[in-house]
Structure 1
């Protein structure tokens, strides 16, 4: 298998890289991967992850929820309950951020299509991208969405979209710089980029360390903090205009982390840690388990 070895920081280009920890792929393969941190800018990333053409097998499990829509198990049932509320919150965020009640939106990594369907129902013209053929088929069957595969990103015209969203997708994308450059090109001059990613400087991230479920190696290649994702946006001519905590993520991630630790009463322990993490995020949203970042394409003035 071809694996990518990174010798210079993808964010700043620095070569002072330290091993932070070794994490296990608890979800699929049981393999171990090192997490490195750039001493110059603080960016974290997975070292030695499989290249894009070969990483597919690490997603090939019937329980990978964003592709299969499984409701098997208590944690996945909880995920679905929370998702229905979050879909409405996400739609409100798009309308509030853009100042529009309709427009053109691109959802990258749409999974089984729930968010794209929600935005269609709200009156938006939606394009969607998804790598998984299984998830695309689900979106077609259940929502009649014509979701494009990843090559479809190259077929849109510059300035096509009022908003582009990536909900827990950016951490999966191998070609980080190229992706941000393309997103900047595709947005209209008054367009917004909304990115949700796990926060490895969160309360639960610091507590669980190598067992933190949101490291999710090797599927998660990049591990962001509020500081490093803002630097990434600046690098590609975006301005961070807002960021919002995703408080429910801490419960799901903590329960899964306790399961990976093989803790007794993992559900209850995870709920307890999730509650503590939630309270921490109330006082400091930069400690939230996951964060939604709202970027504006540079050149647009309020």
Structure 2
């Protein structure tokens, strides 16, 4: 990848306080966390009972808000994939976390499997009866109608290899759903280095609305782009916590609202869902 000058700096507000640079990749209009931890060390940055997406039992206001929004969005996710495919089929959820989306898809008559490397999250997913792999590389001799990555692509090392693997695992004309944060959103610009969706070094890559079409253009066509309206509120609340120490902030909700309103005109939503079709 062709990289340019340092775009900005931020730090790991969640766990270590370490500082990282965000280096702009001009080819794909994306930012790259620099330096990136080795694959072996990366798991260390997730080791916390407060890492919400890996723990159904996490406590606190932010965990409650996260789970509330997540429950409300699950049916919308199912509706989205069914509208793209037009029927039921086989689905692989990469970065399945505790398996909640997989379980809802299974209950809606999808043939579901998941990928999740976290042992903590796997424990909860296995209790839901979903077949899980610990790595996408372990998924072999399989073809799926739909593959989903809900806020997962930004976590995965070896991005070029991942994109090729996703293409190999999809059936011809299969659907790929990718949700990622957008570093050009209003809330990102407002909170700058405190923007929670930078989440370095767990987030290795940071995407603009142009990044995904550029990265996947060899094998996929973008069919639609949709906002994730609730993300601006949740990310702003967490960003305000990092910035001021506030456990709950009306100001942050206002920032999230402004971000959504501005995005109606700019299309720079806090988080974006891309629906891609394999060529």
| Structure 1 residues not aligned, in runs of 5+ | 1-8
Alignment of 1:118-129 (within 5 A): 118-129=104-115
TM-score (ref. length: structure 1): 0.89
Which of 253, 257, 269 is matched with 1:288 structurally?
269
Which of the residues 30, 36, 39 maps onto 2:23? 36
- Tell me which residue corresponds to 2:63: 76
- Establish whether residue 148 from structure 1 lines up as the match of residue 133 from structure 2: yes
Q: TM-score, normalised by structure 2?
A: 0.96
CA distance in 1, matches of 2:164, 2:117: 20
Alpha-carbon RMSD? 1.5
Q: For the Cα contact (< 8 Å) 1:64–1:70, is it kept in 2?
A: no
How many residue pairs match? The answer is 279
- Using a 3 Å threshold, how does the CA distance of structure 1 residues 28 and 124 change in structure 2: closer, same or farther? same
1:177-188 matches, cutoff 5 A? 177-188=160-171
Distance 1:297 1:132 in 2: 29
Higher relative contact order (CA 8 A, sep 6+): 2
Q: What secondary structure is seen at the aligned counterpart in 1 of 2:103?
A: helix
**Ranges in structure 2 where 5+ consecutive residues have no aligned partner:** none
Contact 1:106 1:127 survives alignment (8 Å): yes
For the residue of structure 2 that corresponds to 1:49, the secondary structure is: coil
1:94-243 equivalences in 2 (<5 Å): 94-100=81-87, 102-141=88-127, 143-150=128-135, 153-157=137-141, 160-234=143-217, 236-243=218-225
Alpha-carbon contact 2:209-2:268 (below 8 Å) kept: no
Deviation above 6 Å: which 4+ runs of structure 1?
Answer: none
**Distance change (3 Å), C-alpha of 1:264 and 1:67:** closer
- 1-side partners of 2:37 and 2:265: how far apart? 38
Choose which of 249, 270, 284 in structure 1 pairs with 2:252. 270
The answer as to 2:67 corresponding to 1:85 is no
Alpha-carbon separation, structure 2, partners of 1:220 and 1:155:
23
1:52-75 deviation digits (Å, cap 9, x = unpaired): 111111000111011112442212
SS at match of 1:115: helix
Aligned counterparts of 1:205 and 1:278: Cα–Cα separation in 2? 12
